[in-house]
Structure 1
């Protein structure tokens, strides 16, 4: 396969705090690198085969980079901008809610740690998902995705689109 997504980085002005945040909210391993200026978040596990068994493909990793000097970059001092994005729409990062977790727990923990919940309980028919969204303390939009099932089971209190 060509042009495969292998991982992505999100910006933070405090990678150590962001690493702790994502470890507590999602239960991921926080792997600090470069003296804490970069953190690799390791969700663990493997992508599943259609029969539910583990495939040989590990789940994608996420990086957290220090906005003061996102690495790698050819110039040791990095380049502008050196602050988190604010005031506009940035990328949205989609997280599939594990079968052993709930959106209520994730959103509650995220809020407790300084996130802002944008919405809860919305069904998107286009991709048959139950979704929720929060903005982390660094301005990154995190979309939670729950499986609605076949046929979809949509709770009565969910908005629909």
Structure 2
């Protein structure tokens, strides 16, 4: 194979796509479009990936979606298929979000928890990928790992866990 298969989309399961769209808009500042509303919503994070100098590079953002677990589309049968509820018992989707320089892990976690998310951890550094991180589980069972790059000489604050 000369060219690898390409990831084009990831979507999150939800029993209430409208509420999920409102949650992600408030927590991450993302634009969310109903396509059609209540059935499938497209998340448009916005902007291209930044280059080291802060300008936008040629690579566009990765779109995501929210699908209604009552009848996940597309599917050949108009009635959909089982299961019809989000998986909430055990590991589910885990998404890594690079926190913008003009935002913060604390703001995102606070907004998420205020809207019903469960904080999983905060104040952790992972040397393997040189990043400061925290995580929460949204009200629909999806895990979001919030990530801030450590830079050339990461200084781990006192009291933080690290590995």
Normalising by structure 2, we get a TM-score of 0.94
SS at 1:111 equivalent: helix
Question: Corresponding residue for 1:17?
Answer: 19
Shift of 1:22: 0.1
Tell me the distance in 2 between the aligned counterparts of 1:17 and 1:113: 10
- Per the alignment, residue 76 of structure 2 pairs with 74
> Structure 1: 5+ residue runs without aligned partners?
none
Please report how far the alpha carbon of residue 50 of structure 1 lies from its aligned counterpart in structure 2 after TM superposition.
4.2
- SS at the partner of 2:125? strand
- Rounded Cα–Cα distance in structure 2 between residues aligned with 1:2 and 1:47: 21
Q: Distance in 2 between matches of 1:33 and 1:96?
A: 26
In angstroms, what is the RMSD of aligned CA positions? 1.2
What CA distance in whole angstroms lies between the structure 2 residues aligned with 1:35 and 1:152? 43
- Equivalent residues, number: 161
1:137 is aligned to 2:139? yes
Q: TM-score, normalised by structure 1?
A: 0.95
1:31 matched to which residue of 2?
33
Q: Does 1:100 align with 2:102?
A: yes
Corresponding residue number in structure 2 for 1:57: 59
Greater displacement, 147-156 / 99-108:
147-156
Q: What is the rounded CA distance, in whole Å, between the counterparts of 2:77 and 2:71 in structure 1? A: 10
- Rounded to whole Å, the distance in 1 between the matches of 2:161 and 2:147 is 14
Which aligned runs of 4 or more in structure 1 are off by greater than 4 angstroms? none
Q: 1 CA distance for matches of 2:65 and 2:155? A: 34
Q: Match for residue 7 of structure 1?
A: 9
Note the residue ranges of structure 2 that are not aligned, 5 or more in a row: none
The aligned residue for residue 47 of structure 2 is 45
